[in-house]
Amino acid sequence: MSADRPLLGIMLMIGFCVLAPMGDALAKLLGESIPLGQLLLTRFGVQTAVLIPLALLTGRTLLMSGRVLRLTVLRSVLHIIGIGAMFSSLRFLPLADAVAIAFVMPFIMLLLGKYVLQEEVGMRRLLACVVGFIGTLLVIQPSFAAVGAPALLPLVVAVVFALFMLVTRQVAKHADPISLQAVSGIVATLILAAMYFIPGTDTIEQFQLVMPEGVNIWAMLLAIGLLGTFAHLVMTWSLRFAPSATVAPIQYLEIPIATIVGFAVFGDWPNSLAMVGICITMAAGLYILLRERRMARLVPPAA
């Protein structure tokens, strides 16, 4: 689809920025009573249950070539680790802090592009990375002082999702978004279900199975899966209606929205040092995105 409806693309990305923090807030609420493994199994199980019928009803195929399937399995493993680290961090950190720290991902992707993919990255963007890391450290510092090492979990999220995005770039060229998400859901669900059959897993607290108490808990578990599934779908669709250079800066709205959701649900508000760090991280990230867009305009089109 041609990128000729930028307003629709922007509105879809705003939808992602609203849905994602809501799903994270539910994960934080349920993290006190539902083990991590069960949360993840529910998250990907719902994704599978929703997208397989959708893919089949719309005539999409779930078949993949060997290379694409291998990359999809790798993508699914990274997705499990990334979401697992995020859900774990929310047991210890305010929602806004965890989301803001995880937004170091664009800086990591830029560095991976330079040092792994040998892409050309100028000094200004490297300096913006340094500034962004400094901002992230300001967000981490109060949380690290309060909870210790778990404050670093969003950094794990950032690194894993940077790799996740690199793999997704390779897979997306050969797979429809709904089919890709459906197959990813199947793979992730099978991996997580298989872990419960490994001897000794039942002795690990976060991989025990518990019976949710009450209709509200069941509804929240279902909502986590639905919010996660549709958040990623609207983000993917936003890129079909508008170029990434247009919608990527909009994604930084997730930080203030997460701050509002965290305050409304948990009464959490970042302290002054963390707030300064959030502003610095957002400014550095937006600078990199705008710089990338400007550099893309300067590159002449291929003959």
Q: Give the residue extent of every domain in the chain.
A: 6-294
Confidence of residue 105 (pLDDT cuts 50, 70, 90): confident
Please give the Cα distance from 49 to 44 (Å, whole number). 9
Whole-model pTM: value is 0.84
Q: What is the pLDDT of residue 244?
A: 62
pLDDT surpasses 60 at 299 = no
Closest CA to 179 of 93, 291, 56: 56
pLDDT tens for 55-78 read 999 999 898 888 999 999 999 999
d(C-alpha 257, C-alpha 252), whole Å = 9
From residue 168, alpha-carbon distances to 120, 150, 162 in Å are 21, 27, 10
Distance CA 179, CA 1 (A): 17
Cβ atoms of 131 and 285 within 8 Å: the answer is no
User: How confident is the model at residue 86, as a pLDDT?
Assistant: 95
Answer with the residue of higher pLDDT: 89 or 302: 89
Look over the chain and give the mean of its residue pLDDT values, rounded to a whole number.
Answer: 85
Share of the chain above pLDDT 70, in %: 89
**Separation CA 179–CA 64 (nearest Å):** 9
Whether pLDDT at 264 is above 70: yes
Q: How confident is the model at residue 303 (pLDDT cuts 50, 70, 90)?
A: very low
Q: Are 228 and 236 in contact (CB under 8 A)?
A: no
DSSP string, 35-49: -HHHHHHHHHHHHHH
Give yes or no for residue 291 having a pLDDT over 80: no
Residue 225: how many other CB atoms lie within 10 Å: 23
pLDDT confidence of 142, banded at 50, 70, 90? Answer: confident
pLDDT for the residue numbered 1: 44
Work out the percent of the chain whose per-residue pLDDT is above 90: 40
Q: Which has the higher per-residue pLDDT, 147 or 6? A: 147
Count of CB atoms within 10 A of residue 18's CB?
A: 17
Task: List, for residues 216-258, the tens digit of each pLDDT value.
Answer: 999 999 999 999 999 988 887 886 777 665 676 777 788 888 9
